[in-house]
Amino acid sequence: MRHEMERRFGEGGVPTTATMSRWLKRWGLSRGRKRRRKGPVLLRGPVREAGHCHEVWTVDFKGWYCTAGGTRVEPLTVRDLYSRYGLKADLLRTQSIKVTRRAMRGLFALHGVPERIRCDNGSPFGGGGPTGLTRLSAWWIKLGIEVEFITPGRPCENGSHEQFHRVYKVEVAAQPERTVKAQQRRSTIWLRHYNHQRPHEALGMRRPAELLTRNRRRMPKRLGMWKYPPGWERYWVKGSGEISWHGKRRFVGEAFAGDYVGLQPKGPGVWQVYFGPVHVGEMYEKEEGSIRMAKYRRGG
């Protein structure tokens, strides 16, 4: 409104934005935003070191670059933290959840599933919701994998993977091949050399392949829906991320679409909302709209 008044009458004598806002509120013409009620604050423990193979895998996208022929690629890399073994270096065309999930499914079929995956908070691994989950990382939880997000702005918590990317950039990405197929072949050969030929100081000058052991945690052939303890209520999450509860639509999170969330009674008219083992937030019978989302932060 102020911009329009300046355009029509010039800057001189036009009220400030704050003044106009006060007038609109006084006249009942302004609807202020309702402050979102806060949900529970939950602590995440510090990132943990791996004590054995397949306890922690680190996952990241290196950052896109172009082949010599001008085709853009998105390198998805996965490593076993304990052995430093590079499990994957795939040149994907996009970072979409669908494409990344397909690549991860192939990796799980080959190497089993880890106990924990460490990743950053960006797409497609992390989302903007309080739990930080996307449909990709929610799928990991369904597979029995704990998702460990690093602290925003602290890439040092995934430092060995960052170092892995620096080596890949210098030795493979800096002077790429002309086609994606040729560059993928070169990346695969480099990864094989990295695992079987290159000694690592952090491993006592041993090679990653010398430490890698077989993973006995295999990917389940079929995933059922979440089941919850007796006394809980279970509600189906629609594609919009909403549930129908007592005749009302309540938003719980798009990451959980296509499965059930569990509602645990907490007190009169208050329910705690879970997606499997993950505490999503709290829901109050007297409120409408979104539930009170849980807020996760890193503890000591």
Task: Using alpha carbons, list the distances in angstroms from residue 11 to 15, 22, 281, 282.
Answer: 9, 19, 48, 49
3-state secondary structure of 164: helix
What is the structure's pLDDT at 247? 85
Its sign, for the CA torsion 280, 285, 290, 295, is negative
Four-residue CA torsion sign, 107, 188, 51, 126: negative
pLDDT per residue over 138-184, tens digit each? 999 999 999 999 988 888 889 999 999 999 999 999 999 999 999 99
Q: Say which amino acid occupies 11.
A: E
What is the reported pLDDT for 33? 56
Domains and CATH numbers, the chain: 1-32 (no CATH), 56-211 (3.30.420.10), 233-298 (no CATH)
- The proportion of the chain whose per-residue pLDDT surpasses 90, expressed as a percent, equals 69
Instruction: Note the pLDDT tens digit of each residue in 177-224.
Output: 999 999 999 999 999 999 999 999 989 999 999 999 999 999 998 999
Q: How far apart are CA 135 and CA 97, in angstroms?
A: 7
254-285 tens-digit pLDDT: 999 999 999 999 999 999 999 999 999 999 98
Q: How confident is the model at residue 41 (pLDDT cuts 50, 70, 90)?
A: confident
124: preceding bond cis by omega (within 30 degrees): yes
